[in-house]
Amino acid sequence: MSLFTFFNRKGSAPAARERLQILLAHERVHIGGQSDLVTILREEILAVVAKHVTIDPEKVSVTMERGDNVSTLEVDIEIPLHAEKKVEKKAA
């Protein structure tokens, strides 16, 4: 590793922040904040899907079930047969 590449390295802060957020969200589920996590996940999943297809937010269901060793996240999204696709323009 040269001196120039050392100072040009990208930091690992974003990856660490994301891991910490996942860990905190998982811990909140143990404490009883499961509904908060499900609400956040529902909003984020809805935003991602809505970028590509027009959907009715009332037709989205997100549930989380906790077992002894595993958590299950179930997402049901009703997409109409003739859903309007959204086209994104890519920057050149």
For the cut 80, the answer to whether the pLDDT of residue 14 exceeds it is: no
Structural domains in the chain (count): 1
Q: Is residue 2 part of a domain?
A: no
Q: Is residue 92 part of a domain?
A: no
For the cut 80, the answer to whether the pLDDT of residue 2 exceeds it is: no
Residue 54 DSSP symbol:
-
Residue-range definition of the domain harbouring residue 73: 14-77
Q: How many CB atoms lie within 10 A of CB 59?
A: 11
Q: How many CB atoms lie within 10 A of CB 85?
A: 7
Residues pairing with 61 in the sheet: 76
For the cut 70, the answer to whether the pLDDT of residue 76 exceeds it is: yes
CB 40 within 8 A of CB 46: no
Percent with pLDDT over 90 in the chain: 0
Q: Which of the pair, 83 or 31, is modelled with greater confidence?
A: 83
For the cut 80, the answer to whether the pLDDT of residue 45 exceeds it is: yes
Q: Is residue 4 part of a domain?
A: no
* CA dist., res. 86 & res. 52, Å (int): 5
Q: Is residue 48 part of a domain?
A: yes
Q: Is residue 84 part of a domain?
A: no
Residue positions counted in the chain: 92
Confidence of residue 21 (pLDDT cuts 50, 70, 90): confident
Q: Is residue 89 part of a domain?
A: no
CATH at residue 60: 3.30.1070
